[in-house]
Amino acid sequence: KKQINIAIDGPAGAGKSTVAKLVAEKLSYIYIDTGAMYRSLTYKAISNGVDVNDGKALLNLLNGLEINLINKNGKQLIVVNDADVTEEIRTPAVTNQVSYVAKHSEIRREMVKRQQQLANIGGTVMDGRDIGTHVLPDAEVKVFLTASVDERARRRHEEQLAKGQQSNLEILKEEIRRRDKIDSEREVAPLVKAEDAVEINSTAMKITEVVEAILSLVNERE
Ligand code: C5P
């Protein structure tokens, strides 16, 4: 069977990574989490005291970073210059700064180049904000996955409580709204549905239903 590329875009907390991982598993494809790449750079910028508003300094930092997404026993590890940063890139500090890092055109240009290289052999499920519009404009299947802000915040809240972390639903809603706003209003490659993407609103759907919907889009193409 021909190995295609599947692009999944959408706002924060819509369930992209959960769904993308399951779709990749079903098809024996590779899952590529592009948000983790922006998060890795943000984490390094914070640790090295690099200003997230300084695009040139960030690019300089990024040029010295090898970011590897490694699939190990069904888990995805993020390794930057040989250090495992899987946990570190999910902290609130990184989450709240990453959208500033992702605004810079020079950073996006380099990230897009790296992402295109990862997908050039096909057989990938890539999730992010600009995959269907900029990274893989020729992806055979494009999905724009959304859900209401309340539902997305509720899911994050449950996730954090399940991990035994502190969580405040109202603060989560605020943070999600703020990140959506920066991602949707930025000048370079803003979060927007590609014209040829299929929108799936997952507010009232189960994860398995979303996965099935995407798999049937894949089947229609084959
Ligand atoms: O997907 P995740 O929430 O981990 O993405 C973190 C941030 O990285 C997003 O809020 C966005 O600012 C940025 N991002 C992006 N383009 C992508 C993936 C992520 O700008 N393709």
Query: What digits encode the pLDDT tens for the residues 47-74?
Result: 999 999 999 999 999 999 999 999 887 7
Residue 144 Cβ contacting ligand 1 at under 6 Å: no
Pair type for strands 5-9 and 124-128: parallel
Please identify which residue in the block is written with the tokens 């904000």: 129
Q: How far is the CA of 1 from the centre of ligand 1 (A)?
A: 31
How far apart are the C-alpha atoms of 12 and 134, rounded to whole Å?
18
- In short, whether 110's Cβ falls inside 6 Å of ligand 1 is no
Are the CB atoms for 182 and 100 separated by under 8 Å? yes
Interatomic CA distance for residues 131 and 56, integer angstroms: 24
**SS3 assignment, position 157:** helix
Å from CA of 179 to ligand 1 middle: 9
Question: Do residues 172 and 117 touch, judged by C-beta distance below 8 A?
Answer: no
| Residue 69 CA, distance from chain mean position | 12
**β-pairing verdict for 75-80 and 67-72:** antiparallel
> 55-63 and 105-119 helices cross at what angle (nearest 10)?
30
The residue length of the chain stands at 222
DSSP state of 49: T
Residuewise pLDDT in 10s, the chain (222 residues): 789 999 999 998 899 999 999 999 999 999 999 999 999 999 999 999 999 999 999 999 999 999 999 988 778 899 999 999 999 999 989 999 999 999 999 999 999 999 999 999 999 999 999 999 999 999 999 999 999 999 999 999 998 899 898 999 999 999 999 999 999 999 999 999 999 999 999 999 999 999 999 999 999 986
95 lines ligand 1 (CB under 6 A): no
Ligand 1 center to 26 CA (angstroms): 24
Instruction: Tell whether 137 is in a known binding site.
Output: no
| Residue 192 to residue 182: CA distance in whole angstroms | 12
Convert 100-131 to b/e letters by CB count within 10 Å (16 or more is b). bbbbbeebbebbbeebeeebeeebbbbbbbbb
> 104 CB less than 6 Å from ligand 1?
no
The answer, yes or no, to whether any atom of ligand 1 lies below 6 A from the CB of 39, is: yes
User: Residue 211, exposed/middle/buried by CB under 10 A (0-12, 13-18, 19+)?
Assistant: buried
